[in-house]
């Protein structure tokens, strides 16, 4: 009789323990690898993923803009154009790219009547520049600039009620101005504001009367509401005003060129820290409603603006330069689009800016806003 226990059973148990230990080590290693791999995946905060996404969008935009047939909108932050029929309905397709201009808002793309699709989140910059060649019948546009042109004339209306308005750290005033069509010289293609005149009275609410008002030139952000940034500023000292009507004149040198139907804003804000009340601005309700001027007021330091219906600053006279087309009898002026330069920046803290330039093959007519 064999009194020894079989050896193979003990060996099998040892082998099982060793195998389980090895498997545990392998599984631990796999888990660690998965954690590291997940950390390497692209995210919205990853510079490389942002760069790849931005370049893909720029490539797509460039390819679509290059074959554009017509443009219905061309501005710094938005573009809308048509391309050839893609769905066999005999109608051109409409494509729109747009960014609000507010840091952190998304860049969106809209296709025909479909809802807008977000392409990039947290965009800090999306700007386009347009290389446009002005032509008439194959030739260069022939224009001259006419300075000291009167674009707006609103006399003080003795029949209208005067309404006082104090410029303070909260309350502000903005006058939107579009050239009066009746005053535009014939064949005017562009205009720019060089000088604004209005009437004001000294404030009698506080002693000292040492307030200072900024008379700022701002772009129209839509429907006559002033944008948040200043193109150029002038200064109105309360010490120069009287208790009766006082003529105020502000000159500008940096006003942009605009189309005859585009307007610009003259916005009155206080110089803070000097006097709570800068000056009292009196405006009136004209006996005849005007369509080329709008007055806006704000009671929260320019956070929101409300139109004062049928009201305007008193004694308002606006002078500037008219750019006049001298090619009388020639074919109408056209602006042929050659290229569109595009710049994108996502989260400015990364310092990454991505650019491209699209060559527009069809050179369609365009009006840049």
pLDDT digits (tens, 9 = 90+) for 296-324: 999 998 999 999 988 888 889 999 999 99
DSSP character at residue 365: B
Residue 175 pLDDT > 80, yes or no?
A: yes
Determine the Cα–Cα distance for residues 88 and 226; give it in Å rounded to an integer: 43
User: What is the share, in percent, of the chain residues with pLDDT greater than 90?
Assistant: 47
Alpha carbon of 176 to those of 2, 151, 152, 222: distances in Å?
Answer: 113, 13, 11, 11
Do 200 and 75 share a structural domain? no
Percentage of the chain exceeding pLDDT 70: 78
Of residues 125 and 157, the one with the higher pLDDT is 125
CA distance 13 to 90: 78
pLDDT of residue 98: 96
Q: Is the pLDDT score of 230 beyond 90? A: yes
Residue 303 domain-assigned? yes
115 and 221 in one domain? no
My answer on whether 88 and 112 are in the same domain is yes
Q: Domain for residue 232, yes or no?
A: yes
Q: How many domains does the chain have?
A: 2
User: Is pLDDT at 257 greater than 70 in this prediction?
Assistant: yes
> Tokens 């060089």 sit at which residue?
194
Shared domain for 255 and 343, answered yes or no, is: no
- The residue among 104 and 164 whose pLDDT is bigger is 104
Q: What is the pLDDT of residue 47?
A: 74
Q: What's the token pair of residue 227?
A: 């944008």
Q: So what's the pLDDT on residue 26?
A: 53
Q: What pLDDT does residue 135 have? A: 58
Does residue 171 share a domain with residue 83? no
158: which DSSP letter?
T
Sorted by sequence, the CB contacts under 8 Å of residue 5 that are 6+ apart come out as none
Instruction: Look up the CATH number of the domain holding residue 262.
Output: 2.60.120
Same domain, yes or no, for 118 and 160? no
In a domain, 41, yes or no: no
Nearest to 226 by CA among 313, 282, 298, 160: 298
pTM for the full predicted model? 0.53
Same domain, 83 and 153: no
Average pLDDT over residues 355-363: 91
Q: What's the whole-number mean pLDDT along residues 94-101?
A: 95
d(CA 340, CA 111): 19
Residue 151 within a domain: yes
* Residue with the larger pLDDT of the pair 91 and 49: 91
Q: What's the pLDDT band for 44 if we cut at 50, 70, 90? A: very low
What average pLDDT does the chain have?
82
> Do 163 and 217 share a structural domain?
yes
pLDDT in tens, 259-290: 999 999 999 998 865 554 556 777 777 777 77
Q: Does residue 18 carry a pLDDT above 60? A: no
CA pair distance 275, 56, nearest whole angstrom: 53
Q: Is position 37 within any domain?
A: no
Domain around 173: 143-325
pLDDT bin (cut points 50, 70, 90) of residue 32 is: low
Kindly state the tokens that stand for 232: 């150029």
Residue with more model confidence, 133 or 88: 88
How far is the C-alpha of 300 from the C-alpha of 158, rounded, in Å?
31
Q: Is the distance from CB of 234 to CB of 215 less than 8 angstroms?
A: yes
Number of H helices, E strands in the chain: 2, 22
Residues 251 and 312 in one domain: yes
41 has a pLDDT exceeding 60: no
Tell me, yes or no, whether 179 and 248 share the same domain.
yes
Same domain, 125 and 154: no
Q: Show contacts of 113-121: CB within 8 Å, 24+ apart.
A: 119/53, 119/57, 120/53, 120/54, 120/57, 120/344, 120/346, 121/44, 121/346
Per-residue pLDDT at 5 exceeds 50: no
Whether residue 366 lies inside any domain: the answer is no
Task: Please give the average per-residue pLDDT across 138-145, as a whole number.
Answer: 70
Instruction: Please state, in angstroms and rounded to a whole number, the distance separating the CA atoms of residues 285 and 162.
Output: 7
Instruction: Please count the residues of the chain.
Output: 369
User: What pLDDT, on a 0 to 100 scale, did the predictor assign at position 158?
Assistant: 75
Same domain, 352 and 218: no
Q: Is residue 94 part of a domain?
A: yes
The reported pLDDT for the residue numbered 156 is: 79
Residue 218 confidence (pLDDT): 95
Q: If pLDDT is split at 50, 70 and 90, which confidence band does 331 have?
A: low
Which of 140-144, 184-188, 228-232, 302-306 bottoms out in mean pLDDT, i.e. has the lowest? 140-144
Whether 46 has a pLDDT exceeding 80, the answer reads: no
pLDDT reported for residue 7: 47
Does residue 181 or residue 18 have the better pLDDT?
Answer: 181
Classify residue 307: in a domain, yes or no: yes
């Amino acid at each position: 009789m064999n009194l020894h226990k079989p050896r193979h059973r003990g060996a099998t148990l040892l082998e099982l323990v060793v195998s389980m230990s090895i498997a545990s080590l392998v599984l631990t290693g796999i888990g660690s690898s998965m954690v590291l791999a997940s950390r390497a995946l692209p995210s919205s905060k990853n510079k490389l993923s942002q760069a790849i996404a931005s370049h893909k969008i720029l490539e797509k935009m460039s390819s679509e803009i290059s074959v554009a047939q017509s443009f219905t909108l061309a501005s710094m932050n938005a573009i809308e154009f048509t391309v050839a029929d893609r769905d066999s309905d005999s109608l051109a397709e409409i494509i729109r790219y747009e960014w609000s201009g507010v840091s952190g808002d998304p860049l969106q793309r809209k296709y025909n009547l479909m809802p807008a699709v977000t392409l990039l989140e947290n965009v800090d910059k999306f700007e386009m520049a347009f290389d446009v060649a002005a032509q008439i019948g194959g030739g260069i546009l022939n224009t001259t600039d006419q300075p000291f042109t009167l674009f707006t004339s609103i006399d003080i209306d003795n029949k209208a009620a005067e309404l006082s308005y104090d410029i303070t750290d909260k309350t502000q005033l903005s006058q939107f101005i579009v050239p009066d069509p009746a005053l535009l010289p014939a064949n005017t293609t562009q205009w720019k504001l060089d000088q604004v005149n209005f009437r004001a009275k000294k404030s009698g609410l506080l002693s000292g009367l040492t307030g200072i008002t900024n008379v700022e030139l701002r772009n129209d952000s839509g429907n006559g509401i002033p944008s948040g940034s200043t193109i150029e500023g002038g200064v109105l000292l309360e010490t120069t005003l009287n208790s009766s009507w006082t003529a105020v004149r502000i000159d500008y040198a940096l006003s942009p060129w605009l189309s005859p139907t585009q307007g610009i804003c003259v916005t009155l804000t206080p110089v803070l820290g000097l006097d709570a009340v800068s000056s009292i601005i009196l405006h009136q309700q004209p006996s005849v409603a005007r369509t080329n001027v709008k007055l806006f007021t704000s009671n929260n330091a320019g956070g929101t603006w409300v139109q004062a219906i049928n009201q305007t600053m008193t004694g308002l006279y606006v002078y500037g330069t008219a750019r006049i087309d001298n090619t009388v009898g020639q074919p109408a002026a056209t602006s042929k689009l050659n290229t569109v330069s595009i710049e994108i920046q996502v989260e400015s803290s990364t310092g990454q800016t991505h650019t491209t330039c699209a060559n527009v093959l069809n050179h369609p007519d365009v009006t840049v806003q």
